[in-house]
Each structure stands twice: as structure tokens, then as C-alpha cells.
Chain A
Amino acid sequence: MTSRGTPSRFLQSVLQNGVGRYVCQLKRISLIFSKKAQSSLGVREFIEEGVVDYAKKNPSTVVYVSPQASRIPKIVAEYLNGSVREEIITNKTSPQVLELLTKLTNQSGLDIIRIRKPFHTDSPSIQGQWHPFTNRPPSIGPIRPQKQDNK
């Protein structure tokens, strides 16, 4: 599919975040893993080593660690705007899990689709948008080419 056919949005933030103060948009994260399975070896390692540090570093995020009899370990991230993202972390090592967690923490929770431009403004022009009447002397009637001065 060409890029024009894919869904897209403008660059935006939730609730003008960062204008007044920055609010971390990740509200809750649950690490779902198995106590025995080979595929969640890295997650178990991460839980032993790094999860407490992560939770201390991000006091605004609630971290839940829930062992379940499942072969596919995953991270369920819930954001302030109500969106929920599930990331599957099968066979990921402990640093990889931490990397993924950091990425999820820094995201805003808005849907991840093509962003049209890397910048956005609500008021694109300070002077006002150009229209055929700008910088024209006041006159009534159809628009004609401006008179040349030298004639």
C-alpha cells in the first residue's frame, strides 16, 4: 500500500502535555510471565534484577508482576488516554525487556500510525493567511491585474 493509503495523523500531544508540566502518560504496566517456561527466562531475570529499579525510577507508573501458566510472556501497558498496548516478549533477554519498557514509558499512548509531518502548529500564519485581496488597494469589482507604475 502506498503511504497515502495508510492511516495518518498530525503530530499531537495529550492535553497539551508539556506546556505546563510533563505528565508521564504510562499509568500501569503488567509483566505477565511463566514461572517455568523457557521463553520467559529473560523476563524472570529482569524481574530479579531490574524491575525494582524501574519502579523506583518511575513512581508515576504502577508495575504489576503476575506469574501465570502461559508460554507467551507479555507486557501490557495502559496509558492515560485509555489505550492498552500488549507487547509479546518471548525469548527476550533482560536488557531487551528493559529497553522495551523504556520505550513504552516514553510513548504517549496515541495510536502509532504515520505522522504527516514532524512538526505541527495550530496557527500556521502570524500575519494571516494569504488571499487574493491581501496587499491590494480597496476597490469594488472584479479583480484585475495591478496597474504598472511606469505607465
Chain B
Amino acid sequence: MASGYILNRGALTLGIHCQRVCRNISVTQVREKKRWMRAYTYLMEKKLKLEGPPPPKPRSQLPNWDYHAEVQAFSNRLHENFSLELLKTAFINPCYLQAEQERRRGLGVDSEAAALVLKDNIQLSSTGAALTKSFLTDWCRASFPSLPSEGVEGIVGHLTSLTVVAHVARNLGVEDLTMSAECPVPDDVIHHTFMAVIGALEKSSGVERTGYFLRDFLATQLIGKDLFDIWTVVNPMGLLVEELTKRNIALPEPRLIRAAGASTVLPLYFVGLYSDKKLLAQGPGETLVAAEEEAARVALRKIYGYTENRRPSDFSPPQQHQQPLITSVSSN
């Protein structure tokens, strides 16, 4: 009520100002203390507190936006030669088409007079997703030759999961260009769009370039990740026994190597796995069972060649793109 009263007063004074302005036209501004300002800002703050901040707007509805230039810059940024038509198609999601058609119907536009002539990205997305899966599987097989197929599946599943792909796509600026029905673009839509971008790349520059693209942007997400964070193994000891029998190595024999503070709240046990009287691996844990499991995981990591101190994967650029200028300088 009080604010309404103040507003009324504000309107009154405003009216007086207007009259003054009307009487002598040369004066367009009244110089005095703006007593209405405090009430006004107070009211606006209260409104903000009650209603919350306004919903986010898509970047395309804010000033300074040229869609064609943005798409071209996107293609240049990734150092790829996209065909722009395909790339623009890749950004159009079916949900956007539906929402747009409904909006037009709501506005009373004839569907024949202003038909929506846009193709959606379903086909591109499916080809992109299939290609991603097959390429990443091949890449994992080549990088970790001793990893079993379940492990490869786990890694590929992690790399093509919703969160990882959405994270990559958001940091490559796909979100701004994506045409989606909802404004903060949901993860599944952005995943779909990124797969469509990969499909468009495959159609415009071929499978090999797409492979390098996937290696540079998706496979690099594996850096610093642990194998068993990606691939959940419930019973590592069972898997280790299986692996050792496959390789004709004697079965592991867990032994307690070290223990400290067994009667305290922070006990520590080290379990070593011996096979043929040789130490395979050792792992720490708070209980004997946990330590044995950890030791089995360490042994599996060693067998699969996925230890922390392994040789880093090769992410160097393809050989054909070396510029002749650089080679001539290095030969001199």
C-alpha cells in the first residue's frame, strides 16, 4: 500500500513537471533532487526479489547477431571445411520445427502462404552417432590393445554419454547456434545437435577428417580419467582371475603385507597379490576386503595398460597438413 501511495505521489509530481514543461517549452528538464527515484528503485528491487531474475534469452534474440557469419566462424574455429548448407541443417532440431509451426499457427499465419521450408537434423544425427561410436571403438582398440571389449564399450559409452558430449559442445559454442524449442538448451538436444554436426562434417570432408575431429575433441576428454571411474566393475577379483586364466598365469593369492593402526578408527591395510611367488600388485584399504579389491584393480590396470604413468596417447596433427614453409625452414 505504501509503495502504491508513493507511486501516486510520484505520478502527481510527474504531472506537475509535465505541466511546467508544457507551459514554457524551452525547459525540457527539471533540475532538482529526484525524490521519486528512491521509491522507484525500492519497488524494482522488491519486484526482482518476488519474481526472480528474468528468464534467459537465447543469444540469437539479443543484439548483434548474424546467423550466417556465426556459422561461418564456427566452421573456421574448428579448422574444418564444413559445407555451410549442411552445417545449418545440422543445427535445426525437430523440436524447434514443431515449436515454430505451433507459434505460426497461433499467430494465424497461413501454413501455405509462409511454409516452413527447413529440413531437420534427424538423419545427420543418426549417421554422426553411428560414426562416432565406430570410430571411438576403433581408437580405443588401437590405443589400449589389451583392454577387453566390455572395457572398450565402457570407455566409448562414457565418451558418448550425455554429460560429456554436452560439455564438449557447450565449450565449442554449439549452444548459441542450436535451434531448440526451450531456451537453456537441454542436454539431450545439444547432444543430438553435436552428433548432427559430426554427421555434417563426415558428409562434407570425409571420414578421415571426422576421425581427427573426434580424436581431438572427444578422445581428449579421457585425459586424467581413471579406468574404473569410467567402466564400473563390480567384482574386480573375479575379472582378474578370468584374465589370468586366459593368459595361463597362476591364480592370484592375496596376502596381508602391511597393517597400521588396526585398533584405531583409521586402520590401514596393504594387501599384495602374489602369483607364482611374484608380487603382481598391492593396494591399500580401510578394511581387508576393500584393500584386496583395490589390489585387484591395480593389477587389472597393469594388465590392461591403463596405468596413470602410461605413455600419453598420440594427439599430433595429421602429417599431410604440415606446411611446406615450415619443413623448408627446418631443413636449412
Contacts and interface: CB of A to CB of B under 8 A. Distances in A.
Contacts of B79: 21, 23
Interface in B222-259: 223-224, 256-259
Contacts of B309: 123, 126-127
Given A60-B73, A61-B73, A15 B220 contact: yes
A28 B257 contact: no
Contacts of B175: 82
Interface residues of A, number: 33
B171 A27 contact: no
B223 A139 contact: no
A82 B170 contact: yes
Nearest to B77: A60
Given A21-B216, A80-B173, A133-B270, A140 B256 contact: yes
Nearest to A109: B171
Nearest to B313: A19
Instruction: Name the interface size band of chain B.
Output: 35 or more
Contact of A20 (B64, B172, B259, B315): B315
B173 A27 contact: yes
A16 B77 contact: no
Interface in A94-132: 122-123, 126-127, 132
**Interface of chain A, helix or strand or loop or mixed?**
loop
Interface in A129-151: 132-133, 136, 138-143
B315 A19 contact: yes
Contacts of A138: 257-258, 272
B274 to A, nearest CB: 11
Contact of B220 (A19, A64, A127, A143): A19
A15 B173 contact: no
Interface string B70-81: 101100111100
B223 A122 contact: yes
| 9 closest A-B pairs by CB | A20-B216, A60-B77, A122-B224, A59-B76, A64-B64, A138-B257, A16-B220, A126-B309, A60-B76
Interface of B: 63-64, 66, 69-70, 72-73, 76-79, 167-168, 170-173, 175-176, 212, 215-217, 219-221, 223-224, 256-260, 270, 272, 308-309, 315, 317
Given A15-B221, A62-B70, A123-B309, 8 more contacts: A14-B171, A15-B217, A21-B317, A59-B72, A66-B63, A80-B172, A133-B260, A140-B256
